[in-house]
């Protein structure tokens, strides 16, 4: 149960006076008590509305949506800017890693295929099946290959180091995501406290909670993109389960 | 040369460890925040500290201050590797006695250059 609001106490007291005045035939005084109940009710409503307004303001400020315009000055503190930052960071890191791998792949392929060709000729040399002219050419090719291998292994080394360093995006995006989680948790707390206040307000205003219709609206709002997380009982395990569900729906 | 790497993200610790290995420094240990790192520094004979700033428990700047306040660690070279890039923060780290400051994201060349510079100064001193 919610705490009784100050208005409850006023209403009780005034109602007793109202009854007393009516019993004694003081209709004039009774009307005044009735009016003061109404005034107290309005005051209480204004107070609750004030609290809700303040709470919403705090929650919105917390998310920094109101500062979206000066996000550049504040270093992009609002949630959507932060999420954009993570999206860009992860995309750039993925692209850079793939570019680096693309640079390295032909080097590895060339090292492999030239090694294969040289080994075939080397085998001929070993079994003395080549002429003096062929030997001179083989000598030159081996010399070129060694220079190529030396140069390109340095290049591969650098590329692999760059790939490792590029993974730093995980730290940077992780820090931003941690901040977003903290912000959302704080905002959730504020919004929950708003729910309590609006519950009290419904009592004072005498509005009946249209529970059923609000539940329907709620379940309609819950359907949206959530990405891979969170996994819970409602999460399907694999494509088979998805297909199964779809077919049960007539697809 | 014994080096302690402090960062709450294991990916970043691995990256720094990898780059240090390239430079020929293979004797490294790891800690995930200042609170874990400080007793390791006080107990072990570390020659170099690489630390992040933003960490739960004890931040890198507090770790740096604790290191400089400890008579045994007062001379320990400290490199800060962090995403904190505000002017005030860099000033604070400098005043607290940091030896180098690398802002994330960094390139392999940039980190190596800073580390080598610190080691050169140690060797010269």
| Three-state SS at B100 | strand
The shortest CB-CB distance from B104 to any of A161, A164, A172 is to: A172
Q: Which residue of A has its CA nearest to B85?
A: A75
Q: Do B12 and A161 touch (CB under 8 A)?
A: no
Name the residue among B22, B19, B72, B89 with its Cα closest to residue B50.
B19
By C-alpha distance, the chain B residue nearest A165 is B15
A196-210 residue pLDDT tens: 877 777 777 776 655
Residue-level length of chain A: 251
pTM of the model: 0.67
State the average pLDDT over residues B39-52: 95
Per-residue pLDDT band at B52 (split at 50, 70, 90): very high
Cis-peptide into A112, omega within 30 deg: no
Helices and strands: H and E segment counts in chain A: 7, 0
| Whether A63 contacts A79, CB under 8 Å | yes
* Residues 6+ away with beta carbon under 8 Å from A30: A18, A21, A22
Dihedral (Cα; B9, B14, B17, B23), 10-degree rounding? -130
Least confident of A188-197, B53-62, B69-78: A188-197
Can you give the pLDDT of all 251 residues of chain A as single tens digits? 455 667 888 888 888 888 999 899 888 888 888 898 888 888 888 888 888 888 888 777 777 655 444 444 444 467 888 899 999 999 999 999 999 999 999 999 999 999 999 999 999 888 888 898 999 999 999 999 999 999 999 999 999 999 999 999 999 999 999 988 988 888 888 888 888 877 777 777 776 655 655 555 555 444 544 444 444 565 656 565 655 654 565 55
- Do A171 and B19 make contact, defined as CB atoms within 8 angstroms? no
Average pLDDT over residues B87-102: 90
> Which residues of chain A does B104 touch, with a Cβ-Cβ cutoff of 8 Å?
168, 171-172
| CA atoms of B75 and B97, how far apart (whole Å) | 10
Report whether B11 contacts A167 (CB < 8 A): yes
At A42 the pLDDT is 86
For A72-92, letters b (16+ CB in 10 Å) and e give eeeebbbbebbeeebeebeee
Q: Which two tokens stand for residue A167?
A: 């993974």
Q: Which chain B residues are within 8 Å of A171, Cβ to Cβ?
A: 7, 9, 11-12, 83, 104
A171–B18 C-beta distance less than 8 A: no
SS (H, E, C) A139-163: HHHHHHHHHHHHHHHHHHHHHHHHH
Q: Name the residue among B120, B83, B78, B84 with its Cα closest to residue B99.
A: B78
- Cβ A65 vs Cβ A78: under 8 Å: yes
DSSP label at B31?
A: E
Contacts of B9 in chain A (CB under 8 A): 170-171, 174-175
Strand partners, B48: B3
Closest CA to B34 of B66, B11, B68: B66
């Amino acid at each position: 149960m919610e705490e009784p609001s100050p208005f409850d106490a006023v209403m009780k007291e005034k109602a007793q006076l109202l009854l007393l005045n009516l019993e004694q035939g003081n209709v004039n005084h009774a009307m005044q008590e009735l009016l003061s109940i109404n005034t107290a009710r309005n005051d209480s409503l204004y107070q609750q509305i004030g609290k809700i307004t303040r709470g919403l303001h705090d929650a919105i400020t917390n998310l920094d949506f109101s500062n979206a315009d000066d996000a550049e000055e504040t270093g992009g503190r609002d949630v959507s800017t932060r999420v954009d930052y993570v999206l860009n960071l992860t995309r750039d890191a993925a692209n850079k890693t793939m570019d680096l791998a693309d640079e390295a792949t032909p080097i590895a392929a060339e090292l492999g295929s030239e090694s294969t060709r040289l080994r075939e000729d080397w085998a001929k040399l070993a079994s003395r099946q080549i002429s003096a002219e062929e030997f001179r050419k083989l000598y030159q090719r081996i010399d070129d290959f060694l220079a190529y291998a030396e140069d390109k292994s340095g290049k591969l080394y650098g590329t692999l180091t760059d790939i490792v360093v590029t993974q730093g995006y995980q730290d940077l995006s992780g820090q931003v995501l941690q901040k977003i989680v903290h912000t959302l948790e704080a905002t959730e707390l504020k919004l929950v406290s708003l729910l309590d206040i609006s519950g009290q307000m419904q009592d004072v205003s005498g509005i009946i909670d249209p529970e059923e219709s609000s539940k329907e609206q709620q379940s309609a709002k819950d359907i949206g993109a959530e990405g891979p997380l969170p996994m819970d009982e409602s999460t399907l395990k694999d494509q088979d389960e998805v297909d199964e569900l779809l077919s049960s729906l007539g697809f | 040369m014994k080096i302690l790497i402090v960062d709450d993200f294991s990916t970043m610790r691995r990256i720094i460890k990898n780059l240090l290995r390239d430079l020929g420094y293979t004797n490294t240990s790891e800690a995930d925040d200042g609170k874990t790192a400080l007793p390791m520094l006080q107990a072990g004979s570390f020659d170099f500290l690489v630390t992040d700033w933003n960490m739960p428990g004890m931040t890198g700047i507090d770790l740096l201050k604790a290191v400089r306040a400890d008579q045994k660690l007062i001379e320990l070279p400290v490199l800060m590797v962090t995403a904190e890039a505000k002017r005030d923060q860099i000033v604070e780290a400098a005043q607290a006695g940091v030896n180098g400051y690398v802002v994330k994201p960094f390139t392999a060349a940039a980190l190596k250059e800073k580390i080598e510079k610190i080691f050169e100064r140690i060797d010269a001193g």
